[in-house]
Amino acid sequence: MSQELELKLELSEDAVAQFLNLSWFHSNPANVRQPDKTLENIYFDTPDLQLLKTKAALRIRRSGSQYLQTLKTKGKSVGGLHQRGEWEFKIADTDADGDGEVEPRLQPELFPSDVWPAELNVDQLMPVFETNFTRSGWLWTSSKGSRIEVVLDQGQVIVGEQTTQLSELELELLEGSPECVFDLAEALSKQVPMLVSDVTKAQRGFELFQPGVWQTSRITLEDAREPASRLEWAIQGVMNPSELNDPKCLASVLETLVDDGLLNEMDVRPWLLFGDVSTLNPLLRGQWLLRLARYAWRHSS
């Protein structure tokens, strides 16, 4: 088992074009371009979605001539930085030319027996949805020596005849400090509008398969009594401005977090002045959301 640590960022179609034209990143000696990949993924669950209930995800992925079977457990997401358990095994190959058709068989027996929910019957696992996309990749080495894999995924989530678009940037820490992940993300966000996201590809697939099935816990302002929970409420509200019944509450919460010493006043001054997240342009909103996410990660460690 490995521990995956990554920051997810949502990009619009226009933002993708801006990112691909970002010369300081793509021409930087610290950056090494990786070959593009076409990834085809089938996600599995039981008819009553037992894996979903524990926020686990099981898939078979075809990448080039290989088929990989992967299980990811719930883990935790703090400020958009995801950390979870991951098990992966190669289960099949196409022929030497990559042209042979192979129907890979799901092999749940390869995973440790204690990773499955107690009530789950592995014999009932079945295909639920697909996520098929092109992955462009870069390997970034920070000035502090941290190694970060940057990938741009563009494609679709598919359930039968239904589809929804995928467009996201992922920064995965391979070696070093999570702080360097935020450093790179903040540098990118100064020129490209991007929003921290806590939505996984699996969540998008399950929502398309059965709308409303993915239950996400939300903190209400009444529940946000401690500094850490107030910070989480603020991040939640900036990610989803439509959920803020009274946008001015955000400024009040941010002022409290400044008083508690959890945030620096200069970092949140735009919101202290405007209050309403909708008054911030996408570029600025993304920058301040990353700043809040960094504080959340620091104070969760």
Most confident of 107-111, 149-153, 160-164: 149-153
In sequence order, what DSSP letters do the residues of 46-95 get, joined into one string? -TT-HHHHTT-EEEEEEETTEEEEEEE---EEETTEEEEEEEEEEEEE--
Q: Residue 267: give the domain boundaries.
A: 227-300
> How would you label 230-243 residue by residue, b for 16+ Cβ within 10 Å and e otherwise?
bbbbbbbbbbeeee
Segment 247-301, tens digit of pLDDT: 677 777 888 888 888 778 877 777 777 667 777 788 888 888 888 888 888 877 5
Segment 49-67, tens digit of pLDDT: 999 888 888 999 998 888 9
Q: What is the pLDDT of residue 274?
A: 66
Note whether residue 77 is domain-resident.
yes
Note whether residue 215 is domain-resident.
no
Distance CA 248, CA 8 (A): 27
Note whether residue 214 is domain-resident.
no
Residue where one domain finishes, among candidates 155, 183, 209: 209
For the domain that residue 171 is a member of, what is the CATH number? 2.40.320.10
Note whether residue 48 is domain-resident.
yes
Question: In this structure, are 34 and 164 located in the same domain?
Answer: yes
Residue where one domain finishes, among candidates 175, 209, 243: 209
Overall domain count for the chain: 2
Note whether residue 9 is domain-resident.
yes
- pLDDT bracket for residue 96 (50, 70, 90): very low
Note whether residue 198 is domain-resident.
yes
Q: What is the pLDDT of residue 11?
A: 94
Question: In this structure, are 128 and 57 located in the same domain?
Answer: yes
Regarding predicted confidence, which is higher, 213 or 96? 213
Distances (CA, A) of 125 to 50, 52, 58, 130, 264: 9, 12, 9, 15, 49
Question: In this structure, are 81 and 168 located in the same domain?
Answer: yes
